[in-house]
Amino acid sequence: MTLPMTTIYIDGDACPVKAEVFRAADRRSLPVIVVANAHMRTPPNVEVVVVSAGMDAADDWIADKCAPCDVVVTADIELASRVLAAGAAAIDHRSKEFTPDNIGAAVAMRDLMKNVRQMTGREFGPRPMSERDRRAFMKAFSALLERLSR
């Protein structure tokens, strides 16, 4: 019996770890699809899918295509929830793997922070990625790919 190959989908418009994903996928000969609202330069073996500029067009495309053996790299918690419902794996660029056990808490925290921002009028974004963050992502991402290959 031949097992299906893992495809890696990247929610590409704001993903800061694309290069790391490309390297990990290349080492394992896994296909990568970057889904974004605009074309971007990628290595020749990486597919880029440009979707309309609609609010959740990239999310909708990824959620419709991903399968149980696939991995989605996204910081979008709502997309991660949809990916998990489809049976695929989801990880963010800060090395957090979303699971059925933690996605509910992640959604609740996102909603809480949205309410705090609305009440205070203060916008605060994520801190910049450091080399340490990139190494942590690669370690978690590689472990996820290894686990899925078994």
- pLDDT tens per residue, range 43-93: 999 999 999 877 889 999 999 999 999 999 999 999 999 999 999 999 999
Query: What's the CATH fold of domain 8-149?
Result: Rossmann fold (3.40.50)
Answer whether 0.85 is exceeded by the pTM.
yes
How far, in Å, CA of 101 to CA of 61, rounded? 25
Across 19-27, average pLDDT: 95
